[in-house]
Amino acid sequence: MADKLPKKLTKEPLLDAVFEMRFTRSIPTSSILPGILYDKLEGSKSIEQLSVSSLPIHIRETDPNLRYAPVVRIHWNQFLIMIGDNNVIIGCKMPYPGWIGFKSAIIKIAKILSGVSAIQVIQRYSLKYVDIIPYKDLKEQIAAVNLKVQLGDHVLEHEVFQFRIEIKKEEFINAIQIVSSAEVILPDQKTKKEGLAIDIDTICVTNVKNNEFTMALEDKLDKIHDMNKLMFFSCLSSSALYE
């Protein structure tokens, strides 16, 4: 499936790449995982408490907006590990290390987590990529999307737009957001990217014991990555793919 798709666009669009695991647990994992991961991961690393950590655990648990909010962040080599009370998020620092490097980091961290008895059942996992294609002209942005929008007798031609849809395909739910005239300030606080933003979050709901999930993780990762890539390129018109 993914082998038939382009490897990349002529203009490098990637802003963010994130993998997340959500799970049931016997105790809040933000209290134990930072120490475990920091001890077992080799290489350059540092750890920081995030603002959510100042809130009492019962507030974080009862507020749906905070239940999966990161509490602690570990900087590890090219990656960021965000740890919540019920989840772990692995992100990439830019420039993107490529899928092979990202997948290797996910597997390494998951293997460490597989030995943590407090993590019981993996409820869902997801892979999210955020891209911004640097077209400044609205007509170019609209032409770049494989999308036709008509409201009444008006056809979208040069208007600002925001579009969100969830597409179920195989065992995955693909939450796709496309936003025109997006502006993003990069982490260096100096560089700004503008253009057409495409955010694709590919989600798989599951119910697998922690150690069993990790045993089959490599195949799961390749499959969810292929699905996310398929969704991304299906969003684009031929003008964006082959300019």
- Quote the strand ranges of the chain, DSSP E: 14-25, 45-49, 72-76, 79-83, 87-92, 119-133, 150-151, 154-155, 162-169, 172-185, 192-209
- CA–CA separation, 110 and 88 (whole Å): 9
Distance CA(91)–CA(54), nearest Å, equals 23
Along the 243 residues of the chain, how does pLDDT read in single tens digits? 455 666 556 556 889 999 999 999 999 999 999 999 999 999 999 999 999 999 999 999 999 999 999 999 999 999 999 999 999 999 999 889 999 999 999 999 999 999 999 999 999 999 999 999 888 888 889 888 998 888 899 988 888 999 999 999 999 999 999 999 898 877 666 677 889 999 999 999 999 999 999 999 999 999 999 999 999 999 998 877 755
Domains of the chain by residue range = 9-241
**Dihedral sign, Cα of residue 46, residue 52, residue 53, residue 58:** negative
Q: What is the pTM of this model?
A: 0.92
